[in-house]
Structure 1
Amino acid sequence: MTPPAVPAALDPLVGAFLADPDRVRDALRHFGSPLHLVFPQVFTANLTALRDVLDAGRFGYRLCYAHKVNRSATFARTAATAGISIDVASARELRSALDSGFTADRIEVTGPKGLALLRTAAEAGVTVNVDNLWELAELAELAPELPVLLRVSGFAGSAPSRFGIDLADIDAALDLLVRSRQRLLGVAFHLDTAATGERVRAAGDCLSIIERAYARGLEPTVLNIGGGLRQVFTTDAAGYDAYDDALRAGLLGRGPAMHWGSSTFGYHVAEGMVHGGPVFHKYANTRSAPSILAELLAEPLPGHGGRALGAVLADNLLDLWLEPGKALVDHAGITVARVEFVKRAGNGATLVHLDLSRDTVTAADQEVLIDPIVLTDAESSPTGVFFAGHLCLERDLVTQRQVRVEALPVPGDPVVFANTAAYHMDLSATRAAMHPDVAKVAVLQRDNEFSLFPEDR
């Protein structure tokens, strides 16, 4: 059976680059395979779209690029040149930010921090988004002059989080700030969801904390809503649904199996039905980050007379801070690898072996639910294949689901994984079997010509 297609959404600039397969082959010959390609001009376009939404409001704002989303020095330098700030979560990310041109007043350190990172932040004089009471107490001793934000968690209706100061402990945090005379910039949260209702409730709780801080003589002026804005992976929502339906039918034995072995992608089968949510749910999103942000700012804030969040911020002279990562690199990176060989497995499946591992393009517990793009001159009928990696591990199937290809590739053909810039390139890339780190190369378009610039490994 040929599976339904789930085509990847591509930025026009990336599509123009891929339109010439020989250009892609030349890149692989010159820089090696596999290869990560990043497109800073797409990053800039994403930034402009978010700024357009924020500029329509009457409040001040700060965008902090979440560096952890990608190690690329090109993205960091692009953000610095654009005049925005940066969110870092380690000493090396802080060093990268400084090397990329950010000054201390444009750097925010987030996430859980040990004593070494707190000392590094204190020495650099950057803003610290405090994760817990211990951090706050240590900063009071190390550098009470540092500006801080309080990251809050424990909101009603939100999933438990290991990050942030629980709402029940906020009074203790505010009391400590008063005693130490630390400068409280504002209150922050970061939810692992893009659900507008959940986020606006969290914003309401944080605004209440700001009021309590003022009652203690503190003067916070910032509401930091973190990141969590979504990406758009596929151009065809109906195709996604059709594939999901075929996958479910295969799991039930009511159609050809789309899965390899015992893979169930987060689903479980019981009483003749498929239950649960898939690990690839993010690929179903069809709403852009700017539209999600605009909806959030227009949402009525509970307890404020029906006024929208954006209006409440403006009326109270509060600045909005955001820490987008995925939204800024959406469609701004691809990963390319060569086909090494094609074989028939004992179960009858066709395996297309690539010179990369699954961990190079997705986290181990997830699944890529957009189709890789095969650049081939071979002619054959559309068919279903599994892409396999180069590690000597059974689990190293790049796709544990059967993927539609319009023509069966041959050794040497490039295969493109779209939209890998957000975490996929760096979060879980493996060095097993002494395979080298994957090179990262920036692609710029000038006068309809493309130039490639390698980054330091």
Structure 2
Amino acid sequence: MTPPPAVPAALHPLVAAFLDDRAAVRAALHRFGSPVHLVFPQVFTANLAALRGVLEGAATRYRICYAHKVNRSAAFAGTAAAAGIAVDVASARELLSAQTAGFPADRIEVTGPKGAAMLRTALAAGVTINVDNLWELETLAALSDPKTTVPVLLRISGFPGSSPSRFGIDLGDAGAAFDLLTRHRDRLRLLGFAFHLDTAATVERVQAVAECLDLVERAYGHDLMPTVLDIGGGLRQVFTADAAGYDAYDHALRAGLLGHGRAVHWGSNTFGYHVADGAVHGGPVFHKYANTESAADILADLLGAPLPGHGGRALSRVLADNLLELWLEPGKALVDQAGITLAQVEFVKRAGNGATLVHLDLSRDTVTAADQEVLIDPIVLAEPVVPDAVGVYFAGHLCLERDLITQRQVRLAGVPAPGDPVVFANTAGYHMDLSAARASMHPVPAKVAVLHRDGEFDLCPDADYRPEVR
């Protein structure tokens, strides 16, 4: 039968060169075992340089805060610290990791919902606190040392035209926040306003910026002097080398769900789609795999977008004219294509429904976040014994029906053999860590930094990696 369309992965040239060096791949598996997560700090550095280039060109003051939660890698954190940027942490352990990496207190920002224990930890560390709600603000004032002024940002939500969010202080409650800041001005110092939208749409971000600029004006009326506008993260990644291939696969998947042609889905999984009245409705639980626009291009579009009510001036120009420093919190954008996961084939079997199952020595939770489907095709680093395009499902090593690594059929050049290496591309952005589990007492895969020097690849345990200080 005809296999499904291919959805090839986009690979950074450095990562592609590593995979072409089969001796380096074998060395990684031999030394650190399978499965193993590989991170590439040099790709992180290149991604950072691209964002910095856009910001420098916009001629506005800025601060980049690496969103640590995207990956637990000490190598990434150390690379960010050595590069002189800031870091966004969302737990006590992340804060400790940032401090260990070398970030000073004035380059650490604590974000996310925080209980009293986390607030005490942040206060003791002397870092900037991005306040999620009015309770946090009032509690900070109560817990803080009267002799020390705490720098805070107010995270705002409830913007017109944006989806509701459980995070942040609603626009309608800004007045109450100003009252608290005014009442406790001896303990709390307002640096500015922050937001994080679950979208990369420029129009929504522009609207949020406009609302925050209004808040800046209102703050001045309370004798508060904000100087920062933090636009959060959410910049996209480039996953696929063939956006048309992604679209073709999505079309085949939906046709299969309707019973039109060959099904490429396992069991009753609909991937978030809703099938009714002879049609497929809604959206899938996939990342935006078809995106071809880089994070740098998305950021450039945002900074160049005209702000309503400001005479057509670009967002970056308005911020500069108002002496506001732009902060952003990229995570996925900095680790885009900077990490892969290596595993090995354990065996191949045919299921009762006729499907070919390729069993690997890792679980679904190792390479995908929460309920997301892996829509980029895994790469088998071996020539098939009998080259013949075939559709397979990759299965995990847990004794659970749900542990299908790909719950949709994947096109391969042939059936792999036991021991063949398999690569999951671009897993550094949340995929490695967000859902990682120790079910059945399986260990969490090792994490290893890969560095390209003098034409060769060096491997180093992630925790031992030390970046070059520039």
**Displacement of 1:407:** 2.1
SS at match of 1:407: coil
The 5 A counterparts of 1:258-277 are 258-277=264-283
SS at match of 1:283: coil
Residue 361 of structure 2 is aligned to residue 329 of structure 1: no
SS at match of 2:358: strand
Q: What is the match of residue 58 of structure 2?
A: 57
Q: What is the match of residue 48 of structure 2?
A: 47
**Displacement of 1:86:** 0.1
**Displacement of 1:281:** 4.3
> In structure 2, what residue type is equivalent to 1:370?
I
SS at match of 1:399: coil
Q: What is the match of residue 407 of structure 1?
A: 414
Contact 1:237 1:284 (8 Å CA) reproduced = yes
Residue 372 of structure 2 is aligned to residue 366 of structure 1: yes
**Displacement of 1:23:** 2.2
The 1-side partners of 2:320 and 2:332 are apart by: 27
The 2-side partners of 1:47 and 1:98 are apart by: 20
The 2-side partners of 1:72 and 1:89 are apart by: 15
Q: What is the match of residue 89 of structure 1?
A: 90
Q: What is the match of residue 462 of structure 2?
A: 455
- Report the TM-score when normalising by structure 2: 0.96
Contact 2:6 2:245 (8 Å CA) reproduced = yes
> In structure 2, what residue type is equivalent to 1:7?
P
The 2-side partners of 1:79 and 1:28 are apart by: 27
Per-residue CA deviations over 1:119-152 (Å, capped at 9, x if unaligned) read 0110010000000001101111222611000000
Contact 2:111 2:129 (8 Å CA) reproduced = yes
The 2-side partners of 1:183 and 1:456 are apart by: 36
SS at match of 1:452: strand
Per-residue CA deviations over 1:191-248 (Å, capped at 9, x if unaligned) read 0100100011001101100110011100000000000000000010110011111111
Q: What is the match of residue 254 of structure 1?
A: 260
Residue 157 of structure 2 is aligned to residue 153 of structure 1: yes
The 1-side partners of 2:121 and 2:88 are apart by: 15
Gaps of 5+ in 1: none
Q: What is the match of residue 117 of structure 1?
A: 118
**Displacement of 1:22:** 3.4
> In structure 1, what residue type is equivalent to 2:47?
N
Q: What is the match of residue 108 of structure 1?
A: 109
SS at match of 1:205: helix
Per-residue CA deviations over 1:406-439 (Å, capped at 9, x if unaligned) read 1211000010000000000000011000001110
Contact 1:185 1:221 (8 Å CA) reproduced = yes
Q: What is the match of residue 439 of structure 1?
A: 446
The 2-side partners of 1:343 and 1:93 are apart by: 42
- Greater CA deviation, 18-27 or 88-97? 18-27
Pick closer, same or farther for the CA change 1:92–1:281 going to 2, 3 Å: closer
Residue 76 of structure 2 is aligned to residue 75 of structure 1: yes
The 2-side partners of 1:254 and 1:281 are apart by: 25
SS at match of 1:23: helix
Q: What is the match of residue 341 of structure 1?
A: 347
**Displacement of 1:21:** 2.5
> In structure 1, what residue type is equivalent to 2:134?
L
Q: What is the match of residue 322 of structure 2?
A: 316
Q: What is the match of residue 6 of structure 1?
A: 7
> In structure 2, what residue type is equivalent to 1:445?
H
Residue 129 of structure 2 is aligned to residue 128 of structure 1: yes
Q: What is the match of residue 218 of structure 1?
A: 224
Residue 182 of structure 2 is aligned to residue 178 of structure 1: yes
SS at match of 1:342: strand
Pick closer, same or farther for the CA change 1:180–1:121 going to 2, 3 Å: same
Q: What is the match of residue 142 of structure 2?
A: 141
Displaced runs of 4 or more, over 2 A: 20-23, 377-380
The 5 A counterparts of 1:193-204 are 193-204=199-210
**Displacement of 1:377:** 3.0
**Displacement of 1:364:** 3.4
Contact 1:358 1:364 (8 Å CA) reproduced = no
**Once superposed, what is the RMSD of the aligned Cα atoms?**
1.0
Per-residue CA deviations over 1:367-397 (Å, capped at 9, x if unaligned) read 0111000011333211100000000000000
SS at match of 2:250: helix
Residue 206 of structure 2 is aligned to residue 205 of structure 1: no
Contact 1:334 1:420 (8 Å CA) reproduced = yes
SS at match of 2:289: helix
Q: What is the match of residue 468 of structure 2?
A: none
Contact 1:376 1:407 (8 Å CA) reproduced = no
The 2-side partners of 1:401 and 1:135 are apart by: 44
The 2-side partners of 1:268 and 1:295 are apart by: 34
1:353 to 337, 355, 359: 359
**Displacement of 1:456:** 3.9
The 2-side partners of 1:60 and 1:141 are apart by: 33
Residue 425 of structure 2 is aligned to residue 418 of structure 1: yes
Per-residue CA deviations over 1:270-304 (Å, capped at 9, x if unaligned) read 11111111111411211100000000011111221
> In structure 2, what residue type is equivalent to 1:400?
Q
The 1-side partners of 2:74 and 2:244 are apart by: 37
The 2-side partners of 1:364 and 1:433 are apart by: 18
The 2-side partners of 1:292 and 1:455 are apart by: 30
The 2-side partners of 1:411 and 1:22 are apart by: 18
> In structure 2, what residue type is equivalent to 1:361?
V
Residue 237 of structure 2 is aligned to residue 231 of structure 1: yes
The 2-side partners of 1:360 and 1:50 are apart by: 29
The 2-side partners of 1:352 and 1:29 are apart by: 21
1:384 to 382, 391, 396: 391
- Greater CA deviation, 164-173 or 359-368? 359-368
**Displacement of 1:102:** 0.3
> In structure 1, what residue type is equivalent to 2:248?
A
**Displacement of 1:455:** 2.4
The 1-side partners of 2:117 and 2:277 are apart by: 53
Contact 1:357 1:390 (8 Å CA) reproduced = yes
> In structure 1, what residue type is equivalent to 2:61?
G
The 1-side partners of 2:161 and 2:400 are apart by: 41
> In structure 1, what residue type is equivalent to 2:353?
N
Per-residue CA deviations over 1:282-337 (Å, capped at 9, x if unaligned) read 11211100000000011111221221111100111110000000000000000010
Per-residue CA deviations over 1:15-52 (Å, capped at 9, x if unaligned) read 00000233212211110110000000000000000000
The 2-side partners of 1:35 and 1:408 are apart by: 22
Gaps of 5+ in 2: 465-470
The 5 A counterparts of 1:271-310 are 271-310=277-316
The 2-side partners of 1:413 and 1:211 are apart by: 61
SS at match of 2:23: helix
> In structure 1, what residue type is equivalent to 2:239?
F
SS at match of 2:403: coil
- Greater CA deviation, 417-426 or 21-30? 21-30
